[in-house]
Structure 1
Amino acid sequence: MAGFLDNFRWPEWECIDWGERRNAVASVVAGVLFFTGWWIMIDAAVTYPSQEKMNHAFHTCGVFSTIAFFMINAVSNGQVRGDTYGEGCLGRTEKEVAPGLAVFFQNAFIFFSTLIYKFGRTEDLWG
Structure 2
Amino acid sequence: MGIGDCFENINLPPCIWFEGGDKRNAYASIISGFLFFVGWWIIIDAASVYPGTVVAGYHMCGVVGTLSLIMINSVSNAQMRGDAYEGGCLGPRGAKVWLFVGFVMGFASVIASCGILFANFAGKKNAHYWPGVGLFLQNVFIFIASLIFKFGRSEDIWT
TM-score after normalising by structure 2: 0.40
Q: Which has the bigger relative contact order, CA under 8 A and spacing at least 6?
A: 2
Instruction: With the length of structure 1 as denominator, give the TM-score of the two structures.
Output: 0.49
Larger Rg: 1
